[in-house]
Amino acid sequence: MRAHIFHIGFWAMAGTLALLFAPILLWSSRAPAVAAIGLFAKLFRGWLGLCGAPVEYRGLEHVEGLGPAIFAAKHQSYGDGLCHLARNKDLAYVIGDHMLRFPLVGLYLRRAEAVVVDDAAGRRAGGALDEGVDRLSADGRSALIFPEGGLSPVGGKRRYRRGVWKLARALDRPVIPVATNLGCAWPEMEWALTPRPVVMEFLPPIRAGEDAKAFMTRLETAIESRTRALEAEAHAAARQSSAPSR
């Protein structure tokens, strides 16, 4: 029942806001679309908490005062990007072109100047990243990228792609690895919601040196090891809450 309530509320909120704010898509400025997406993200985070999965941000000391950076985040759930935007609506996000297929969503994302990468392009996706570099260099926004290029299950991972290394090198910005356990509450795209505490944890920044392989290994190790720890924490909290009181 909880999952049904969550999803009905989520999709009703998404559809209502998308239609309500549709006129702002006529603006030439990105600011109205960014504000609308940011509002939806904050409402989503609040709704997620009301449904039993409150979101906590850790490691903010690694972010504050750092300036423009590249956030390389674990991707376990449809809600990952929204949780990041709820904290900082001005993030530029690197997304796959599959996101443009949702009604109105693609228009909002394009108006907000997301960096869109062709999911099927493989190495050819670098062209879109080159355009993103030019745009981000001009406006100074931090960027959010999911190095795996797609959703991974709790306890698992996908191949980490080098686009994050290329982006960080081109912009000469630090990379903030981000671990999460959101998938323990709302896994991937499933019709499920399990009441669990959710953590988005920002890890110490790393620099993208000339050795791409060494950088990617360090990034993957940081994200995956901390994500496994957060998953274990969420499972332990669930067991504790379900244990009979004495």
Whole-number Å distance between alpha carbons of 65 and 81: 22
Whole-number Å distance between alpha carbons of 195 and 4: 13
Whole-number Å distance between alpha carbons of 191 and 199: 20
Alpha carbon 114 to chain centroid, angstroms: 13
Contact yes or no for 225/86 (Cβ under 8 A):
no
Whole-number Å distance between alpha carbons of 38 and 87: 9
CATH number at residue 73: 3.40.1130
pLDDT at 121: 47
The position carrying tokens 């509320």 is: 9
39-98 pLDDT tens trace: 999 999 999 999 999 999 999 999 998 899 999 999 999 999 999 999 999 999 888 777
**Domains identified in the chain, total number:** 1
Structure tokens at 170: 């081109």
Angle at 88 between CA 164 and CA 99, to 5 degrees: 60
pTM of the model: 0.90
pLDDT at 243: 57
Whole-number Å distance between alpha carbons of 71 and 97: 19
pLDDT at 101: 74
pLDDT at 56: 98
176 forms beta bridges with 71
178-215 pLDDT tens trace: 999 999 999 988 899 999 999 999 999 999 999 999 99
3-class DSSP state of 115 = strand
Gyration radius of the chain over CA positions = 18
pLDDT at 129: 66
What is the span of the domain harbouring residue 170? 2-242
Contact yes or no for 82/41 (Cβ under 8 A):
yes
19-41 pLDDT tens trace: 999 999 998 899 999 999 999 99
pLDDT at 76: 97
Backbone angles phi, psi at 92, to 5 degrees: -90, 140
pLDDT grade for 7, boundaries at 50, 70 and 90: very high
Which residues make Cβ contacts (< 8 Å) with residue 177, sequence separation at least 6? Answer: 72, 73, 202, 203, 204, 206, 219, 222, 223, 226
Cα–Cα distance list, 181 to 67, 80, 104, 154, 213 (Å): 26, 10, 29, 8, 26
**pLDDT above 70 coverage of the chain, percent:** 92
